[in-house]
Amino acid sequence: MQKSKTLGRPTWLALIAVVAGATGMIAGAATRGDSDAQLGALQVESPEEQRAFDVANGLSEAFRRVSEHVLPAVVAIENSPAVAANKRDPRRSQPEGNPFEGTPFEDMFRDRGFGGRSFEGPRGRMPAPQPRSGLGSGIVIDPAGVILTNNHVVAGDGTVTVRTQDGREFVASEVLTDPKTDIAVVKIDGAEGLVAARMGDSEQVAIGDWVLALGQPFGLESTVTAGIISAKGRGIGITDRENFLQTDAAINPGNSGGPLVNLKGEIIGINTAISSRSGGNNGIGFAVPANLAQWVSDQLVATGSVQRAYLGVGIQPVTPELAKQLNVAPRSGVVVTEVFDDTPAAETGLQPSDVITKFAGTPVSTPQQLQLAVERAALDQDHPIEIVREGKTQELRYRGSKLPEDFGSTSPQRQRPPEPEAAELNRFGFEVSELEPAVARRLGMEKTEGVLVSSIERGSRAAAAGLRAGMVITRVDRQPVADVEAFEEALEAHEGQESEGLMLLVRTERGSRFVVIEPQS
């Protein structure tokens, strides 16, 4: 594909000038009057007006050139799963009610749809996809017939058909998927004359940058919409590995798998999801960053699967409350809540309450950033990890190790423990008891040492902090507590630090996390 020139973009002041100038000229034309019934061409009456229109026309030209540059590489993808359900009646050209009934986009018109990856709010989670026939988008990244798209577009173990911009159709010869990132690679054979789009560097994308979304929304081929990057590093709870770009460029059902491109015509994201109750565009769309999509697709093409490295830790964000306890700035790293036995993290020397600030030289401030950085680490090579431990900066060495297939795949089924013999309610508003072996087994915590939270006073500081009955407290202010006696001693040691709050490391069936009980006001 011919290389495009770098295209400029207007400033917001210029855009304001466009609106102001155009409004003034239209108003002037209306007041001057004209004996002719038909309006003539709009006349530019000053250098300022001309500059405003030049800026607007320059942006329009940029959008046009980028669209012409990238559209030849955009394809439509039809997925016909082996077991199709709710097929549309071919005699009905326009079904009544939901026009997407019987397709993966049907549920987009309900509160919590799947189809084009719609979800309701940042905490919503989608139900499992149903095996139905439907349309999505893709982008050619290799003229030999390699196409990048979403996993949910091609899921279902059925027939995947690719339609190119010139109308040719090809049945996929191979479909390679990575559900953890919702990325897939589709290969087609015998497709001569394909052109490939260029992958850009999503790390260089900034909030406010102009972007175009291309694809087949609602089955309408070769559709282009424009917007900006609204946010970066979004985690919305729909895939295991998330670091989405957020955009207000219109993304609708059928855009999934299509490219999000910058004004150089480079792919900087793969359109994946929208936040919507109706299923249509609400100005909040999400795309997998190009760097992550490139890393995944390279491995899928080379080996057919994705090889990930791992540490073997539990982690959580550094909240303002935790930052005070750990002597770090809020969002300055990721705090370790648990180090699993016989893992690279244990060999590296990581400990609970360590704050990881950099991995392999890259600053990390969210769990998603750390997880993705670790997973992309080269195997069998050493990587530095910068941590803050008890207020002091240290550097550890991590050896890249392959993630075992069964790591973290088994989580014990939590059962309600028997009523324990509780201690008295403490000044924070909760009771603890010994973690008896029978209770530990029922909670799936046979190897855990700590005390069981047996009761919480409603409206107490402990309740406000998120402490709940059934949690197991393993540390108080960084100190391990193996039984009630050790717990009480730790509380007594804390009496002289009441103004700083009480930091507890608690464990549930979901893992470990820190809870901070704020000082009494």
Distance CA 499, CA 518 (A): 8
pTM comes to 0.72
Catalytic residue (choose from 118, 133, 137, 152): 152
What are the residue ranges spanned by the domains of the chain? 73-85+99-306, 313-399, 430-517
Give pLDDT tens digits for 65-104. 999 999 999 999 999 876 544 444 433 333 334 333 333 3
Q: Given the DSSP bridges, would you call strands 266-275 and 198-199 parallel, antiparallel or unpaired?
A: parallel
Q: Where would I find the H helices in 95-169? A: 151-154
Do 318 and 328 touch, CB atoms closer than 8 A? yes
- 319 HSE (CA, 13 A, CB side): 12
Distance CA 149, CA 197 (A): 13
Q: Which of 226, 217, 262 is nearest to 70 (CA)?
A: 262
Do 164 and 75 touch, CB atoms closer than 8 A? yes
152 is catalytic: yes
CATH of domain 430-517: 2.30.42.10
> What is the overall mean pLDDT for the chain?
82
Q: Which of 183, 299, 313, 199 is nearest to 242 (CA)?
A: 183
Catalytic residue (choose from 107, 178, 182, 477): 182
Q: What one-letter code names the amino acid at 71? A: L
Distance CA 365, CA 192 (A): 45
**Quick one: which H or E segment has residue 386?**
strand 382-389
Q: What one-letter code names the amino acid at 402? A: K
Domain made up of 313-399: CATH architecture? Roll (2.30)
pLDDT tops 60 at residue 457: yes
Q: Do domains 73-85+99-306 and 313-399 have the same CATH topology?
A: no
256 is catalytic: yes
Q: How much of the chain is helix, strand and coil, in % rounded to 5?
A: 25, 30, 45
Confidence of residue 322 (pLDDT cuts 50, 70, 90): very high
SS3 state of residue 315: strand
Do 248 and 284 touch, CB atoms closer than 8 A? yes
Residue 404's alpha-carbon distances to 25, 276, 300, 339, 407, in angstroms, are 67, 36, 18, 16, 5
Residue 435 DSSP one-character state: -
> What is the pLDDT averaged over residues 189-211?
95
Catalytic residue (choose from 256, 353, 401, 512): 256
pLDDT above 70 as % of the chain: 79
Give pLDDT tens digits for 28-50. 444 444 445 777 777 888 888 88
Distance CA 472, CA 151 (A): 38
Give pLDDT tens digits for 157-182. 889 999 999 999 999 999 999 999 99
Q: Is domain 73-85+99-306 annotated with CATH 1.10.220.10?
A: no
